[in-house]
Structure formats: C-alpha cells, structure tokens
C-alpha cells in the first residue's frame, strides 16, 4: 500500500482546469497507513484561528481596493501576529512532513496553525494560492505534471520561471524521491540476485501484478516494460492484494511508492531504476513568494535531511508502530539537531469530546446549509413554478450544480471564500438546492387542476390559495425533498474536512491517511447515525404536518 | 324581472375552437336556473365565466349589475358560492375545515364558524361525527353534500353548481335533491346549475337554458320549455336527454 500518493493525484487537476469526477476518490484512495495516533492537532484553537484568518476577506470578492489598502497598511503588522498556517494533503507522508515543518517553526518561536488533510493537490494548491495556508509539502513531479502548464522539468529554468509567475516559491527539497518503483520480496531478491530493474530481464518466468493505474499509465508498466525490454507480461491487481499475493508467493513483482513504509514491514526490496526511467517526485515545501525570508530560511534547513530510506522509516513508524505524527516528527527533528528540546506534549482530547465536537460542527454545517437551501429553494420554486420556461431554467441550473463533483466544488469555493466552514456551508447549500427546488416545483405544478380551480373560484386570494391549498398539497413532496437534501448533505459534509471545515469528516480523512479503521469509524458511524436521525426526524415532522393518507411514503409509486 | 347575471355579446375561444360567439343571456335574481345541454355545449364554460375563473375573449359579463372587478376578484367571488362535479374537496383538510375555510379567512370566531357548520350539515343531512373525517373517508354522496355546505358557508347571493350531483346512485341523488331543496327553502339564493340530467334540472330549477354547440336554443321557464320547445333542436334534445 502506498504511503505517499503524489503520483496518483496527478491525473485529476491536470493543468488546473476542470477536475474529473474521480478526484475525491483518488484523493481517498491512497495513503492507507494505520496508526492509532492522535489526530494531527486541529484543536478548537485552530478553529478560532480560522475565524481570524478569513482568507476570503483578503482574497474574496468584496472591496479589493479597500482590502489592498488595508493590507498595505497593516500587512507587516498582521503577518507578524498571524500564525503561520501549515497545510498537508490526505496521506501519511504529507502529514509527517507538514508536522515536521510545523514543529520546526514553533521551535523558532512562530505560532503555527495546522490545517492538515486537504483533499488532494487541487484543494491544497488552491488553498495556498488563496492565502488560506502558507506552506505545504508538494512533490516536484506533481508540480511538473499537474500544477504547471508548461510541464517543464524540475530544476529547469522554465520550471522556475513558471513557479515564479504563479507567485510561488519552491524551497529546498527534503531529499528523498517518492516515485514509482518495482519491488520484490527480500527472498526473491536474494535467491535471484536482483538489485536493479535491468536484472529482471534475465528472469522471464517472474510473475508481474501491478496496481491498475500503474498498469495503464504511460510512465507505468507500458513505458517501463518498453524502456527496459522486460519480457514478462503483467496484469492489473488491487494494490493491497498485490502485497498479500507477494507474501504468499503467488506474485513476484509489483509496483510501489519508493517511500512506502509497508516495504519495511514486509521486507520488500526496491529494485534500482538504473535507467532512470521513473520521473522524480522530490518533496519540498511550497510557499508563496511573499513568505517572510526568515521563515523560508528556517524551512530550508530541512533541505536534504531525509533520504528515501529514512522517509520510509518515518512512514513505517506511523503506519506499523502506530506512533503519532507529532512524535515521529519531534524525534526526527531532535535526531537531526534541528530542535533542542523535546517537543511540547500535545494536548490530548478524549474520544467523546472529539465526537461531540465533530458532531456539533457537522450539524452546524448541514443545518445551516439545508435551512438556507430550504428558504431559498422553496422561495425560488414559488417564484417560478407558474412559468414553465422559468421552472425549467431553474431546474437545469440547480441540476448543473449537482453534477459538479463535490470535492471540485469545495475546491472552487477556496478562491472565493477561503477555507473552513463558510465555503463548506456554501457548497452544501448549493448541493441541497436541487432536491428541494425540484420536489417543490414538481409538487406545485402537479397540484390537481380541479382543486386549483375550486380554490380560485370560491374566492381565495393568490396568497391564500398558496398558503391553504397549493403548499399543503405540495408539502409531502417538499418534505421528501428536504429529507433527501438533509441526508445527502450529512454525507457530503464529511468531505468538508478536506477544506478544513472539520466535522465528522475529520476523523475519516485522518483515518484514511492512516488506514486506521477505528478512526474512520469514529467519523463514519456518527455520520450514518446523523443521517438516520435526519430520516427519522423528517418522518416525525411529516407525521405532524401531513395527514396520514397524504404522506409521501404512502403514495403509490 | 331583475337580472343578477348578464352575458352581453360574449365570445369565448379555446385555441382555435370557438365555444361562444356573441352570446347574450340574462339570469334572474332569486331563481334556480339550470343550464342544460349535451357534452360540449358550453354550459360549464358559461358557468365559469360568471365567477371569472374563465374570462371572455369578447363582450362582457355583468354580475350584481356591474362588470367583474379586475382587482379584488377574491372578495367578489366570496359573494358567489361554487361547487363542482367530482368532489373538489381539499384532501388535506378535514370536513369541518373544508366547509369552514372561507369563514376562517373572513376572520369568523370559532363559535360562529362551528354554529354555521352545524346549521349547514344538519340541513344537508350530514352526521356530526363526519365533520372530523377527511374527504376520502366519506362516500361520494356525502362528499357532494359537503361541497354544497362549503359553497353556502358565507350565505352567498349566487350559488354556482357545476354538475355537483353527478356520479351517485339514483336513490342517493334523490335524497340529496331533497336536502338541497330544503336548504334552498331555508336560505333562498340565486342558483345557476349546470347539469346534463334533465330530471335533475326539472326537479330543482324553475328556469331552463338549453344550450347546443355554444348557442342558446331556448331560455325560459321550465314548464314553457317542456310544453313549447322553441325549436326542433330543443325538442330533439329533450328526446335525447330523456
């Protein structure tokens, strides 16, 4: 399994244009480390800081000129006082590197706000550009293939020029290169005397099974088998299964990330890429140019401190020995002499307190979003339902919103509203509109025409017809729409953790990074419980408001 | 004879189909006038132009001595009771709420509303316990009685009935007719009744308007129409309807 996931992301924000739908799944797909560690610290302090941070104010729509003036006047002062925001992506290696940077900066007297677990390159990069975070660990290959439109090689002038044109700055690489690699078991390596990929050429009997993506990518199996003239054939297999098959002797060679901690756990050997076929994925701190020089200098001290093997060990300490990111980072910094003292003991929060905290945030996110969507959606439906073209337009527009992949919509919110709860609520609100608007419009335009005629004919004014006849008759479907919106929202809100909004997605995101089922369940079970509670709650509301014979659940389908 | 409803040169088209072409017709105060004719003769369209549910393309309809108001149409319509074929009852409201809806909107006190509902349901022969039920829990005949009660709640000056007694068995219908006649004796009102049932028309109405293809063949007292049909068409219509 993959500890670092830079490669797998590279498909989904190609050139920063549209993000394919699979983005969130890809982001979730890698980085399965397990560790019963504390979550990376994202305390109530962090949330309070988030409120202060408000990148949306600086970079948002409103008052650019005023904001600019204020920034010019207050900028130096503000930057001295504001905490440095360190971000990470959703896999363990990214958490570890981010934690190392955070602790080093803290040791140098900076206040640090940890915003870990952003949903993939797209979101993290947007957060950096929008000023919502100040630094995060990125990979040279991901920059080359995903972020930069030129696709220039890392280290080239074109690469540097484009990074500069984006207002960014790459700091010293940590040293290791987390790229694709081919791996065999220690036994196989010893038995056949395998050290390099070239050595494989002499063993056509070896059985190759590689992850599906590697099997298809041009810089994966098709490329490398051609470059080295490998005589074997290969088939696609789920990555976790490939490791298992290797251990059981059913498979001889598979692909891996070169810093994967599991390589240590299973005593797998990486075969040297002696023809340098695989592109390099050096990890480095990515910052904006405006970052204070002193901070850059501090982070540059991390340059070259981590070899492939050492990074693999750190990953393994988190994934296999189940140590916390904070512990692993602190130990590394001490060992390198980068910090003098032991790191501060982390405030430990209890499971119940976390659960309550996360549930409250989750309810807040979904509650506000669905309530706002209800008011606006029903209002919109009432406003347009008499006109067929208008109704159609509104339904198309809300339907279109629904087709935007949730993680992409969340990412699109960042430049406008920054990170945290505000953009999450807005995204959830947009998602909730369709079921509410659609159900309300449909219910209103399908009210029995005879009843409409009677209501008008007997002397009810327009508003009385709506209030006493049309809306009550539409209510079962309206409530059904609300119910769908609420349940979808509760589910989707778990993704809000990817943009730092917290909620029950927080333990899920961290748990996914760590392959920690317990942690995942700490988010997933309450989320499922909330969805169930929402179902039941709306059923109760329906029972109160709708006569039994008109309840949607009893309507013939 | 005072005329409470007048059609003056009224034309009405639905798309390219002309239903009425420069129709003139007057309906007298205090009488029960039945609009009869075969399906498609335009009788229901005529009725719906009285309370403005349908608007003439040409000409005008005058009710209470003046054209239909363009604003405050709702207030105007509350002077006109309206009951339609099928049930027309609101399925989400219990029977008492269906009957009492307009009273509630008029701001009547609960007591006044309850008294009026009792009065009407008794006249129409509806058992008190039925008023707590929903429309779908009542028989077709019971629902029709409720429809009449609802239309009469505000003691309107005109009552428009669009085939309100169709679709029930003859025995039930006879009983409803009786009850309705009793109600009309207790609370006299100008009634315009659309029906395709000539027996019903002759039983309840004093005046007949015979329509065919959007034309008035004859408008006169019932007896007059029966004894002296104005045209062959009327005579034939009677034969057919009978």
DSSP assignment, residue A145?
Answer: I
Instruction: Enter the tokens of residue A41.
Output: 């610290």
The residue ranges of chain B whose pLDDT is under 50 are none
Q: Which of A215, A214, A332, A313 is nearest to A260 (CA)?
A: A313
To the nearest whole Å, the CA of A384 is away from the closest chain B CA by 22
The complex scores an ipTM of 0.92
Q: Which of A5, A176, A179 is nearest to A91 (CA)?
A: A5
Q: Could you tell me if B7 and B61 are in contact, meaning their C-beta atoms sit under 8 angstroms apart?
A: yes
Q: Which of A450, A458, A545 to mutate to test the interface with B (most CBs of B within 10 A)?
A: A458
Q: What is the pLDDT of residue A378?
A: 94
Nearest CA in chain A to B135: A549
Q: What is the pLDDT of residue A550?
A: 85
How far, in Å, are A344, B42, B52, B70, B76 from residue B99 at the CA level? 75, 29, 22, 27, 19
Say if A443 is an interface residue toward chain B (CB within 8 Å): no
Say if A509 is an interface residue toward chain B (CB within 8 Å): no
Residues of B in contact with A451 (CB under 8 A): 88, 90-91
Q: Could you tell me if A384 and A442 are in contact, meaning their C-beta atoms sit under 8 angstroms apart?
A: no
Q: At what angle do helices A421-445 and A388-403 cross, to 10 degrees?
A: 140
Q: Which residues of A139-159 are buried (b: 16+ CB within 10 A; e: fewer)?
A: bbbbbbbbbbeeebebeeeeb
Please give the Cα distance from B147 to B89 (Å, whole number): 7
DSSP assignment, residue A83?
Answer: P
Name which of B84, B102, B136 is nearest A459 (Cβ-Cβ). B102
Please judge whether A473 and B78 are an interchain contact, meaning their C-beta atoms are less than 8 angstroms apart.
Answer: no
Write the CB contacts of B39 (distance below 8 Å, at least 6 apart in sequence).
Answer: B196
pTM higher than 0.90, yes or no? no
Q: Which of A116, A89, A115 is nearest to A31 (CA)?
A: A89
Q: How confident is the prediction for chain A on average, in pLDDT?
A: 82
Q: The dihedral of CA A434, A438, A439, A441: what is its sign?
A: positive
Locate tokens 């650019």: which residue? Answer: A64
Residue ranges in B5-156 assigned as alpha helix (H): 43-50, 73-77, 95-105, 110-123, 140-152
Please give the Cα distance from A452 to A112 (Å, whole number): 62
Tens digits of residue pLDDT in B133-181: 999 999 999 999 999 999 999 999 999 999 888 878 888 889 999 999 9
> Residue A257: beta bridge partners?
A180
Please give the Cα distance from B168 to B176 (Å, whole number): 10
Q: What is the full per-residue pLDDT of chain A (557 aa) written as tens digits? A: 344 444 444 333 333 333 333 333 233 333 333 333 333 333 443 344 333 333 333 333 334 444 444 444 444 444 445 899 999 988 889 999 999 999 999 999 999 988 888 877 888 898 898 888 999 999 998 898 888 888 888 989 999 999 999 999 999 999 999 998 999 999 999 999 999 999 999 999 999 999 887 888 777 899 999 999 999 999 988 877 888 889 889 999 999 989 998 898 889 999 999 998 988 899 999 999 999 999 999 999 999 999 999 999 999 998 888 888 999 999 999 999 888 765 454 555 577 888 898 999 999 999 999 999 999 999 999 999 989 899 999 989 888 888 888 888 887 888 888 888 899 999 999 999 999 999 999 999 989 999 999 999 999 999 999 999 999 999 999 999 999 999 999 999 998 888 888 899 988 888 877 777 888 899 999 999 999 999 999 999 999 998 888 886 654 44
Write the CB contacts of A119 (distance below 8 Å, at least 6 apart in sequence).
Answer: A23, A24, A27, A89, A90, A407, A410, A411, A495, A497, A498, A499, A509
Q: Which of A91, A138, A141 is nearest to A261 (CA)?
A: A91
Please give the Cα distance from B29 to B63 (Å, whole number): 11
To the nearest whole Å, the CA of A454 is away from the closest chain B CA by 6
Residues of B in contact with A449 (CB under 8 A): none
Q: What is the pLDDT of residue A11?
A: 33
CA angle at residue A318 from A259 to A352, to 5 degrees? 145
Please give the Cα distance from A503 to A116 (Å, whole number): 14
Length of chain B counted residue by residue: 242
Q: Could you tell me if A214 and A221 are in contact, meaning their C-beta atoms sit under 8 angstroms apart?
A: yes
Residue ranges in chain B assigned as alpha helix (H): 43-50, 73-77, 95-105, 110-123, 140-152, 170-186, 198-204, 222-227, 232-241
Please judge whether A549 and B74 are an interchain contact, meaning their C-beta atoms are less than 8 angstroms apart.
Answer: no
How far, in Å, are A105, A263, B82, B159 from residue B47 at the CA level? 84, 87, 10, 10
Please judge whether A457 and B74 are an interchain contact, meaning their C-beta atoms are less than 8 angstroms apart.
Answer: no
Instruction: State what percent of residues in chain A have pLDDT above 90.
Output: 51
Q: Which residues of A508-520 are buried (b: 16+ CB within 10 A; e: fewer)?
A: bbbbbbbbbeebb
Residue ranges in A196-322 assigned as alpha helix (H): 212-216, 221-228, 239-247, 262-265, 293-300, 308-319
Tens digits of residue pLDDT in A169-225: 999 999 999 998 999 999 999 999 999 999 999 999 999 999 887 888 777 899 999
Please judge whether A458 and B48 are an interchain contact, meaning their C-beta atoms are less than 8 angstroms apart.
Answer: no
Q: What is the pLDDT of residue A30?
A: 34
Burial of A555 (0-12, 13-18, 19+ CB in 10 A): exposed
Would you tell me which residues 527-556 of chain A have a C-beta closer than 8 angstroms to some C-beta of chain B? Answer: 546-547, 549-550
Write the CB contacts of A37 (distance below 8 Å, at least 6 apart in sequence).
Answer: A318, A322, A323, A324, A325, A326, A327, A514, A516
Question: Greatest CA span in chain A, whole angstroms?
Answer: 95
DSSP assignment, residue A196?
Answer: B
Please give the Cα distance from A442 to A398 (Å, whole number): 14
Locate tokens 């952003």: which residue? Answer: A118
Instruction: Enter the tokens of residue A281.
Output: 């994925």
Q: What is the pLDDT of residue B127?
A: 93
Name which of B77, B88, B92 is nearest A459 (Cβ-Cβ). B77
To the nearest whole Å, the CA of B82 is away from the closest chain A CA by 6
Please give the Cα distance from A141 to B232 (Å, whole number): 97
Question: Greatest CA span in chain B, whole angstroms?
Answer: 55
Nearest CA in chain A to B89: A451
DSSP assignment, residue B101?
Answer: H
Write the CB contacts of A138 (distance below 8 Å, at least 6 apart in sequence).
Answer: A6, A121, A124, A125, A147, A170, A283, A284, A285, A286
Please judge whether A549 and B134 are an interchain contact, meaning their C-beta atoms are less than 8 angstroms apart.
Answer: yes
Q: Cα B162 to the chain's mean position, in Å?
A: 5
Residues of A in contact with B55 (CB under 8 A): none
Locate tokens 């406003």: which residue? Answer: A383
Name which of B74, B90, B92 is nearest A459 (Cβ-Cβ). B74
Region of A297 please: left (phi>0), alpha (psi -120 to 50) or beta: alpha
Q: Could you tell me if B224 and B209 are in contact, meaning their C-beta atoms sit under 8 angstroms apart?
A: no
DSSP H/E element including B10: strand B3-14
Phi, psi dihedrals of residue B212, rounded to the nearest 5°: -150, 120
Please give the Cα distance from A6 to A280 (Å, whole number): 11
Q: How many CB atoms lie within 10 A of CB B194?
A: 27
What torsion, rounded to 10 degrees, do the Cα atoms A217, A223, A228, A234 define?
Answer: 50
């Amino acid at each position: 399994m993959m500890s670092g996931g830079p490669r797998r992301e590279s498909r989904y924000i190609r050139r920063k244009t549209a993000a394919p739908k699979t983005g969130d799944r890809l982001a979730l797909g890698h980085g399965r480390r397990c560790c019963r560690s504390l979550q990376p610290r994202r305390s109530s302090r962090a949330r309070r800081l988030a409120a202060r941070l408000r990148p949306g104010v600086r970079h948002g729509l409103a008052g650019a000129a005023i904001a600019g003036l204020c920034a010019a006047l207050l900028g130096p002062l503000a930057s001295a006082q504001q905490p440095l925001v360190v971000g990470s992506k959703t896999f363990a290696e990214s958490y570890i590197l981010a934690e190392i940077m955070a602790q080093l900066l803290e040791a140098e007297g900076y206040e640090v706000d940890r915003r870990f677990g952003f949903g993939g390159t797209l979101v993290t990069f947007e957060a950096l550009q929008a000023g919502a975070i100040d630094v995060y660990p990125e990979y040279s290959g991901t920059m080359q293939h995903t972020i930069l439109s030129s696709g220039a090689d890392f280290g080239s002038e074109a690469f540097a020029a484009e990074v500069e044109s984006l207002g960014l700055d790459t700091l010293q690489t940590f040293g290791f290169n987390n790229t694709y690699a081919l791996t065999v078991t220690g036994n196989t390596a010893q038995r056949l005397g395998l050290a390099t990929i070239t050595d494989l050429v002499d063993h056509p009997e070896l059985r190759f099974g590689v992850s599906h993506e590697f099997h298809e990518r041009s810089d994966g199996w098709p490329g490398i088998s051609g470059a080295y003239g490998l005589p074997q054939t290969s088939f696609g297999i789920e990555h976790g299964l490939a490791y298992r098959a290797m251990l059981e002797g059913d498979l001889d060679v598979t692909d891996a990330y070169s810093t994967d901690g599991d390589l240590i756990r299973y005593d797998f050997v990486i075969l040297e890429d002696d023809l340098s076929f695989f592109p390099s994925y050096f990890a480095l701190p990515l910052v904006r140019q405006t970052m204070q020089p002193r901070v850059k200098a501090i982070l540059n001290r991390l340059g070259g401190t981590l070899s492939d093997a050492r990074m693999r060990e750190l990953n393994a300490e988190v994934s296999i020995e189940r140590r916390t990111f904070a512990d692993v980072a602190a130990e590394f910094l001490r060992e390198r002499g980068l910090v003098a003292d032991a790191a501060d003991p982390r405030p430990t929060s209890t499971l119940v307190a976390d659960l309550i905290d996360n549930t409250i945030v989750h309810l807040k996110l979904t509650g506000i979003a669905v309530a706002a969507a209800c008011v606006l959606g029903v209002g919109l439906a009432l406003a347009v339902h008499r006109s067929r073209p208008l109704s159609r337009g509104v339904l198309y527009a809300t339907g279109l919103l629904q087709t935007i992949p949730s993680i992409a919509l969340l990412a699109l919110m960042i430049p406008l509203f920054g990170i945290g709860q505000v953009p999450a609520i807005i995204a959830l609100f947009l998602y909730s509109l369709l079921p509410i608007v659609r159900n309300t419009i449909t219910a209103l335009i399908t009210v029995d025409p005879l009843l409409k005629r009677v209501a008008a004919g007997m002397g009810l004014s327009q508003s009385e017809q709506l209030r006493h006849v049309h809306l009550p008759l539409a209510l079962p479907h309206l409530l059904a729409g609300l119910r769908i919106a609420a349940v979808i929202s509760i589910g989707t809100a778990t993704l809000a953790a990817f943009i730092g909004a917290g909620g029950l997605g927080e333990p899920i995101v961290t748990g996914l990074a760590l392959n920690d089922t317990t942690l995942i369940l700490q988010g997933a079970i309450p989320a499922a419980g909330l969805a169930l509670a929402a179902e039941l709650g709306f059923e109760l509301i329906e029972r109160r408001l709708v006569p039994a014979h008109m309840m949607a659940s009893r309507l013939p389908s | 004879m005072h005329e409470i409803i007048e059609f003056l040169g009224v034309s009405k088209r639905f798309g390219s189909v002309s239903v009425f072409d420069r129709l003139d017709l007057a309906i007298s105060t205090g009488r029960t006038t039945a609009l009869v004719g075969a399906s498609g003769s335009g009788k229901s369209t005529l009725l719906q132009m009285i309370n403005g549910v349908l608007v003439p393309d040409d000409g005008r309809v005058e009710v209470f001595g003046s054209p239909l108001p363009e604003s405050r149409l709702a207030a105007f319509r509350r002077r006109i009771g309206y009951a339609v074929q099928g049930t027309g009852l609101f399925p989400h409201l219990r029977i008492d709420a269906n009957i009492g809806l307009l009273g509630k909107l008029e701001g009547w006190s609960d007591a006044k509303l309850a008294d009026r509902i009792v009065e009407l349901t008794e006249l129409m022969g509806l058992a008190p316990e039925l008023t707590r039920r929903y429309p779908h829990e009542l028989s077709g005949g019971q629902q029709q009685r409720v429809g009449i009660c609802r239309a009469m709640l505000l003691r309107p000056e005109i009552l428009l009935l669009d085939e309100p007694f169709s679709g029930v068995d003859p025995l039930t219908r006879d009983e409803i007719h009786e009850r309705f006649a009793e109600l009309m004796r207790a609370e006299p009102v100008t009634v315009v009744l659309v029906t395709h049932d000539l027996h019903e028309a002759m039983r309840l109405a004093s005046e007949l308007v015979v329509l065919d293809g959007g034309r008035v063949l004859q408008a006169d007292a019932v007896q007059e129409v029966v004894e002296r049909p104005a045209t062959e068409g009327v005579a034939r219509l009677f034969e057919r309807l009978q």
